[in-house]
A and B are shown apart, each in its own frame.
Chain A
Amino acid sequence: MNALETIERRSAAAPTGLPEPSKRTFLTGRRMELFEKFPRLYWLVTRRWFQFAVVVPNLLFFYAFLIAGVFGSPVGNRNIIIIFIWILWWFALITALVPFASRVWCTVCPLPFFGDWIQRRALINVRTGRTCGLQNQMYGLNKKWPKALSNIWLQNIAFLGLCTFSAMLVTRPIVTVWVLGSLIVLAALMAGVFRGRTFCNYVCPISGFLSLFSMTSTLALRSKDLDVCAKCKTKSCSVGSDKGWACPWGIYMGKLDRNNYCGLCMECVKSCPNDNIGLFLRPAMSDTRIKGYDESWKAFIMLTLAAAYSIVLLGPYGIVKDFANVAEVGDWKGFGIYAGGLWLTALAALPAAFAACVWIGRRLAGRSDLGQKEIFLGLSYVFVPMGLLAWIAFSFPLIMINGSYILNVMSDPMGRGWDLFRTAQIHWSPILPEYVGCIQAPLLFLGAFYAIRAGYRFALEKTGTPAVAVRLAAPVSILVTAITLAFLKLFVG
Chain B
Amino acid sequence: MARKFSDLTPEEVLRVAIGVEIANGERLRTFADMFSQQSPEASSVFKEMAEEEDQHKAVLVARYAQIYAKLADPLPESEISDVLEAHDLQDAEHFIFDDMDARAALKAVLAAENVAMDFYRRAVPTAATDELRAVYAELADGEADHVRRVQERLAAQGMRDAG
Q: Does A230 contact B (CB under 8 A)?
A: yes
| Contact with A133, one of B1, B36, B89, B91 (Cβ below 8 angstroms) | B36
State how many residues of chain A have any CB contact under 8 Å with chain B: 38
Q: Which residues of B contact A201 (CB under 8 A)?
A: 96
| Contact with B97, one of A142, A144, A151 (Cβ below 8 angstroms) | A151
Number of A-B residue pairs, CB cutoff 8 Å, is 89
Known: A21-B81, A233-B30. A250 touches B96 (CB 8 A): yes
What is the distance, in angstroms, from A473's C-beta to the closest C-beta of chain B?
27
Known: A2-B91, A250-B93, A251-B96. A132 touches B83 (CB 8 A): no
B88 touches A233 (CB 8 A): no
Hey, what's the 0/1 contact readout for B84-121 against A, CB within 8 Å counting as 1? 00101111111111110000000000010000000000
Known: A231-B23, A261-B96. A1 touches B78 (CB 8 A): no
Known: A2-B91, A255-B91, A256-B92. A239 touches B37 (CB 8 A): no
Q: Which residues of B contact A144 (CB under 8 A)?
A: 37-38, 98
Q: Does A203 contact B (CB under 8 A)?
A: no
What is the distance, in angstroms, from B60's C-beta to the closest C-beta of chain A?
18
B92 touches A255 (CB 8 A): yes
Known: A231-B23, A291-B97. A251 touches B33 (CB 8 A): no
State the majority secondary structure of interface residues on A: loop
A231 touches B34 (CB 8 A): no
Q: Which residues of B contact A250 (CB under 8 A)?
A: 93-96
Q: Does B153 contact A (CB under 8 A)?
A: no
What is the distance, in angstroms, from A76's C-beta to the closest C-beta of chain B?
37
Across the interface, name the chain A residue whose C-beta is closest to B25: A233
What is the distance, in angstroms, from B44's C-beta to the closest C-beta of chain A?
13
B33 touches A133 (CB 8 A): yes
A233 touches B23 (CB 8 A): yes
What is the distance, in angstroms, from A223's C-beta to the closest C-beta of chain B?
9
Hey, what's the 0/1 contact readout for B25-64 against A, CB within 8 Å counting as 1? 0110011011111100001000000000000000000000
Q: Does A35 contact B (CB under 8 A)?
A: no
| Contact with A235, one of B34, B36, B37 (Cβ below 8 angstroms) | B34
